[in-house]
Amino acid sequence: MLTEVIATRYVTPLREGGSLPGIVEADDLGTYIMKFTGAGQGRKTLVAEVICGLLGRRLGLRVPELVQMQLDPVIGLSEPDQEVQELLKASGGLNLGMDYLPGSLGFDPLAFEVSSREAGRVVWFDALINNVDRSWRNPNALVWHGELWLIDHGATMIWHHNWPTAEKSSAKPYDASDHVLATFAPDVPAAAAEFAPQITEDMLTGIAAEVPDEWLVDEPGFDSPDALRRAYVTTLLARAGMISDHITLGEPSKDKPSQAPGWLAGKPPRRAVK
Ligand SMILES: Nc1ncnc2c1ncn2[C@@H]1O[C@H](COP(=O)(O)OP(=O)(O)OP(=O)(O)O)[C@@H](O)[C@H]1O
Ligand SMILES: [Mg+2]
């Protein structure tokens, strides 16, 4: 089970996130990014955050710790924004929290540099989970204490939105041409050799067990949360077995404008991050 904490103070919304995540303090004195069950993207986003976030952590990639957060919407009473009020009201009960990395910077490939080894590890992981949301347009990666951290796995495993076609769609190749780390010569074969043997049925079953039942019930075609957990395990296991030879790194679809402020971007040498 993910550690459970209780939200004690709603600090502020993060407007750069499409789902309007919030910075929230909790009864363990921690500060978290809260992803709300009541957000328009729905609870599958949270399932994806848990499965892929824990998978990344098990592989040794840096993903901030995840917790279950209990929310009483009353903590947002003094929040003036109506959109936030409504999100909180729709999200009473169980939500997802991700450890907040204070002072982190958004990763920008023109300002920071990662090794080809690390780039390969992230690209292979993203290929496994079908992550199309770590592109130069939307890096979903942070730099914190000189290290690369991966966030936002809500838009992964696209196939879980249509289970009847999941087997077929999860066998599709992964085009990493627009990946935010594509320019660092990702060493995909080394990552495949390191990671593929680690993805076992036991490992995936343990990870799927961490997803709260509440986010898995009533999925059409599945008579229990455990049946749905098995479907995630089977699909990811099959993908781990085929994806290594189906990752392409071609030309990016467009030029990559830097998102970084002028003082940070384009001033060689770029800062190396681990
Ligand atoms: N753990 C964290 N620590 C610090 N800042 C974070 C953390 N997680 C997210 N953020 C900040 O909040 C922003 C939005 O978070 P995230 O990308 O997870 O939200 P989202 O609603 O899924 O966004 P998107 O618009 O990409 O769908 C990030 O770009 C980053 O600036
Ligand atoms: Mg994001």
User: Domain boundaries in the chain?
Assistant: 4-99, 105-147+158-248
pLDDT of residue 266: 59
pLDDT in tens, 93-139: 999 999 999 999 999 999 999 999 999 999 999 999 999 999 999 99
- Counting ligand 1 atoms within 8 A of each CB, the residue from 12, 24, 133, 142 with the most, and so the one to mutate, is 142
SS3 97: strand
Q: How far apart are CA 199 and CA 153, in angstroms?
A: 18
Please state the pTM of the whole predicted model: 0.95
Q: In what order do the strands lie in the sheet with 147-150?
A: 105-106, 141-144, 147-150
- Give phi and psi for 176, each to the nearest 5: -95, 15
115 and 181 in contact (C-beta within 8 Å)? no
CA nearest 48: which of 148, 130, 143, 171? 130
Q: Is the dihedral of CA 128, 123, 1, 163 positive or negative?
A: negative
Q: Whose CA is nearest to atom 1 of ligand 1?
A: 100
Helix pair 116-128, 43-58: axis angle to 10 deg = 140
| Confidence band, pLDDT 50/70/90 cuts, at residue 267 | low
138: CA distance to ligand 2 center in Å? 7
Q: How far apart are CA 232 and CA 244, in angstroms?
A: 19
- Ligand 1 binding residues, C-beta < 6 A: 14, 16-19, 21, 33, 64, 98-101, 104, 106, 138, 140, 142, 151-152, 154
82: CA distance to ligand 1 center in Å? 21
pLDDT of residue 264: 66
Helix (H) or strand (E) holding 6: strand 4-13
Q: How far apart are CA 47 and CA 66, in angstroms?
A: 12
184: CA distance to ligand 2 center in Å? 21
pLDDT in tens, 151-179: 999 999 999 999 999 999 999 999 999 99
- Exposed, middle or buried, 42 (CB in 10 Å: 0-12/13-18/19+)? middle
- Exposed, middle or buried, 175 (CB in 10 Å: 0-12/13-18/19+)? middle
